Amino acid sequence: MNLDHKLFFDSMPVPRFLVQVTKQGDYRVVEANQKAVEYFQRQRSQIINREMSDFIDSENVRHFEQAFEVCLKQNVPVTIQALPSLPGAVRVYGFWINPVSMSDGKTILMDVMAQPDTTDDSILQRERDDAISLLTSIFDVSEVGIFVTDHHRRVVRVNDSFLRTYGWKRADIIGEDFSVLLPHEEKKEEIERYDSMMDSGIRSSGEGRLLRKDGSIANVLYTTATLALSQGRNFQVKTMMDITLRKQMEMSLRMAKERADAANNAKSSFLANMSHELRTPLNAVIGFSEIMMNETFGALGSDKYKEYLGDIHLSAKHLLEIINEVLDMSKIESGKVDLDEQEVDIGALIISVARIMESRAFKSEIKLLLDIEETLPFLLADMRLIRQVLINLVSNAVKFSKKGQEIKISAYLDDIGDILISVKDQGIGIPKDKIKDALEPFGQIMDSQHAQDQQGTGLGLPLARAMLELHGGTLDLDSDIGKGTLVTVTLPSRRVIFKEKTE
């Protein structure tokens, strides 16, 4: 180091020293100015050509050495904070560590220079100016509308985004009471809230309404914070985002839902009323046709009349079944079905349903097989609904089975205590991609294999599933074309009752 450089180095107003790495990998101070000597509170001879561990404690040595390693490996300047256990006579904020390299890029020294203490008023002033400049930039460029009011409720500042979004000009609102931005009917309440927040200093957020320059109303999502500055000055900063379009969409969706609910309720009411009105004459048709078929009041004469009466009776019963299904579905959809719960011997119920369906299966030369666990417990359920579920499932199985095929009805208690009932047939099956349609109300499988057997409303399976869901149960369908259908009913363990069965 020549004389000029030496004088410059020594005269610096902050601590500065040069560090060299020894062959052993230690860090040795090869030069230090007077401020550095004062900072470390040592004699010059105790610092120059000494390793740093000779004059500072091990904790601070590690602090420096970690920074030195980063500086050497990356060949970049490094900054560390001042060392708390080295108070020194000179107050510093931290240290800059700069690598000093040869022309070949090899670092030979590290130049360590202290950063002045931030209590320096000029530095603080610059930092304050920088912070103000940064916050002003954020305020001005923000896409969120912002306005600031004082404790007199006057608007003192507003950003461009607010003006652009709501159509105001600065001259319109600067210096004005903030209530100029509010709908007339909300001014009194908002002024009271404003004064309360100014006194309490609390923050708030929520949805509100704002008056645009053209007189229209904007819906906004806002946040409000109260700031207490020097000399007792209080300000309120409000940020807001226009959500008018979102609120309009919510209103449209709400109205659409209300219309849909009203239409659905009207449909359910219509179906219930019409089903009731239709069932009365149908019961009369069925009753009178049975009387005529049985020739209760004498012979009819021609056998052709008897044939026609049979058709009338069959058609009327089929129509009554459809009406009952529609009525049941409309009641369930409108939430008007209350379960008449009782202890049901589910095994006996399955056997009784099998007996009811046996004659229909026998006519089609289809065999019904039962596999019911002997110790099957009772079930807390609505017997009428569970019977209807079983009738629907077995009826479907018979309808879509061919002569000579079998239908197996199984029932057992599974490992977790649920009762499982399955109805498995060998019929034509359902395409896997159509299973979802088969479980939807009025959904029917429209293909050549099913067309000839299509009768009814397509409510059998959906109605069975809805009745099971009222009990907290489920219905699962597994099927494919030519492989038959397996319907599995699960009734939850919370409805299972264990008790002695009477003979």
Pair 309, 289: CB distance under 8 Å: yes
Residue, of 145 and 444, whose pLDDT is higher: 145
Supply the pLDDT for residue 253.
87
CATH number of 341-497: 3.30.565.10
Q: How far apart are the first and last CA of the chain?
A: 115
Supply the pLDDT for residue 121.
54
Supply the pLDDT for residue 107.
80
Mean pLDDT of 146-151: 88
Band (452; pLDDT cuts 50, 70, 90): very low
pLDDT at 117 over 70: no
Please tell me the number of Cα atoms within 13 Å of 123 on its side-chain side.
8
CATH architecture of 124-242: 2-Layer Sandwich (3.30)
> Which of 420, 418, 443, 414 minimizes the C-alpha distance to 431?
443
pLDDT digits (tens, 9 = 90+) for 457-491: 566 788 888 889 989 999 998 988 888 899 999 99
Average pLDDT, the chain: 81
Please tell me the least confidently modeled range out of 3-17, 68-82, 104-118, 437-451: 437-451
Supply the pLDDT for residue 448.
47
What lies within 8 Å, CB to CB, of 138 at 6+ separation is: none
Residue, of 345 and 108, whose pLDDT is higher: 345
Please tell me the least confidently modeled range out of 32-41, 125-134, 178-187, 393-402: 125-134
Supply the pLDDT for residue 362.
83
Q: Where in the chain is the domain with CATH 3.30.450.20?
A: 3-117, 124-242
Supply the pLDDT for residue 410.
94
pTM comes to: 0.42
Task: Dihedral sign for Cα 287, 289, 290, 294, please.
Answer: positive
Dihedrals phi, psi of 246, to nearest 5 degrees: -60, -40
Please tell me the least confidently modeled range out of 18-27, 138-147, 269-278, 307-316: 269-278
Supply the pLDDT for residue 170.
87
Hey, what amino acid is at 325?
E
Task: Enumerate the β-bridge partners of residue 242.
Answer: 220
Distance CA 419, CA 492 (A): 7
Residue, of 138 and 222, whose pLDDT is higher: 222
Supply the pLDDT for residue 103.
76
Mean pLDDT of 241-262: 85
Distance CA 448, CA 459 (A): 20
Distance CA 315, CA 321 (A): 10
Task: Enumerate the β-bridge partners of residue 412.
Answer: 420
Supply the pLDDT for residue 454.
45
Band (122; pLDDT cuts 50, 70, 90): low
CATH number of 3-117: 3.30.450.20
Of these ranges, 222-236, 311-325, 381-395, the one predicted with the greatest mean pLDDT is: 381-395
Structure tokens at 79: 């900054």
Supply the pLDDT for residue 420.
95
Pairing of strands 406-413, 367-372: parallel
Pair 86, 60: CB distance under 8 Å: yes
Of these ranges, 127-141, 195-209, 320-334, the one predicted with the greatest mean pLDDT is: 195-209
Pair 155, 173: CB distance under 8 Å: yes
Q: Token pair 């107050």 is at which residue?
A: 91
Q: Where in the chain is the domain with CATH 1.10.287.130?
A: 250-333
> Which of 474, 476, 480 minimizes the C-alpha distance to 445?
480
Residue, of 115 and 423, whose pLDDT is higher: 423
C-alpha distances out from residue 146 to 214, 218, 238, 380, 479, Å: 19, 15, 6, 62, 62
Task: Report helix, strand or coil for 158.
Answer: strand
Band (31; pLDDT cuts 50, 70, 90): very high
Distance CA 284, CA 291 (A): 11
Distance CA 332, CA 285 (A): 28
Please tell me the least confidently modeled range out of 115-129, 148-162, 268-282, 396-410: 115-129
Q: Where in the chain is the domain with CATH 3.30.565.10?
A: 341-497
> Which of 33, 44, 198 minimizes the C-alpha distance to 111?
33
Task: Report helix, strand or coil for 211.
Answer: strand
> Which of 46, 21, 27 minimizes the C-alpha distance to 36?
46
Band (294; pLDDT cuts 50, 70, 90): confident
Band (50; pLDDT cuts 50, 70, 90): very high
Mean pLDDT of 86-99: 74
What lies within 8 Å, CB to CB, of 291 at 6+ separation is: 297
Supply the pLDDT for residue 80.
82
Supply the pLDDT for residue 451.
46
pLDDT digits (tens, 9 = 90+) for 166-214: 999 988 888 889 888 999 888 888 888 888 888 887 788 888 888 899 9
Supply the pLDDT for residue 456.
45
Distance CA 410, CA 424 (A): 8
CATH architecture of 250-333: Orthogonal Bundle (1.10)
